[in-house]
């Protein structure tokens, strides 16, 4: 399988690309794009990896599905392209950052700036059919992204894993809390943000931990 992905990730994930489930997944995704529209653009499926090489990862934020509206998704969880209105969860993320560390809400919802600082913005499922949330779930992406999380948890030290909501918490349940900082809370969705997301102070906690282990803080 000749997957177009950043070299440090490709070297470590090659065993996954050779497995039967990934071959089946690849064929499914190709068929979906052929019949389209599917998000994000094909060249952006692995954008999170391409912007954040394996050895540069400092923080992992786990999302679920790409946004399924036109022009929104670009391969980073919770992030939208420049000029796209902020989805409700992203509005709440920016509110919490402002309350937590005082950073003003930015003009763009494009989180590429986080990825370039070492934040892996990883959706559990990397593609979605337009206007059909969850349409590419249970096709193999979750197995692949579980392998990504396991690689990071086992081969790196002192990462920050940010798990918002029950789904992300289940996905990160195996992470060794003695080797990494695992931050959990309610999801930033409007349905749950007032039930434990607001006030979680995850952004300041992440930076305190990184600083304590000799890493540069994230400019959130």
Residue 102: both structure tokens together: 């005082």
Which residues 6+ apart lie within 8 Å of 22 measured at CB?
1, 16, 140, 143, 144
Q: Where does 4-142 show beta strands of DSSP type E?
A: 38-39, 59-63, 119-123, 128-129
Verify whether residue 99 is a known catalytic residue: no
Given 20, 55, 65, 100, the catalytic residue: 65
- Phi, psi (rounded to 5 degrees) for 181: -90, 125
Whether the bond between 52 and the residue before it is cis, its omega within 30 degrees of 0, is no
- DSSP letter, residue 4: -
Is the Cα torsion angle 70, 109, 94, 216 positive or negative in sign? positive
Contact 6, 50 (CB under 8 A): yes
Residue 159: both structure tokens together: 């990462």
Which residues are tagged catalytic?
65
């Amino acid at each position: 399988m000749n997957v177009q992905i950043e070299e440090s990730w490709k070297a470590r994930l090659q065993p996954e690309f050779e497995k039967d489930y990934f071959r089946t997944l690849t064929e499914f995704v190709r068929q979906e794009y052929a019949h389209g529209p599917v998000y994000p653009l094909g060249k952006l499926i692995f954008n999170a990896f391409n912007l954040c090489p394996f050895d540069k990862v400092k923080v992992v934020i786990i999302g679920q599905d790409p946004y399924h509206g036109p022009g929104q998704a670009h391969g980073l969880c919770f992030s939208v392209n420049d000029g796209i209105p902020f989805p409700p969860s992203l509005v709440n993320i920016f509110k919490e950052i402002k309350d937590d560390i005082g950073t003003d809400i930015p003009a763009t919802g494009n989180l590429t700036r986080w990825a370039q600082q070492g934040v892996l913005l990883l959706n559990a499922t990397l593609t979605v059919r337009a206007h059909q949330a969850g349409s590419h779930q249970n096709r193999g992406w979750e197995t692949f992204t579980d392998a990504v999380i396991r690689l990071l948890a086992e081969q790196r030290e002192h990462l920050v894993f940010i798990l918002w909501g029950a789904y992300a918490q289940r996905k990160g349940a195996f992470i060794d809390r003695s080797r990494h900082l695992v931050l959990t809370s309610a999801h930033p969705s409007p349905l749950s943000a007032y039930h434990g997301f607001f006030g979680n102070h995850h952004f300041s906690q992440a930076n305190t931990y990184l600083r304590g282990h000799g890493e540069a803080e994230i400019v959130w």
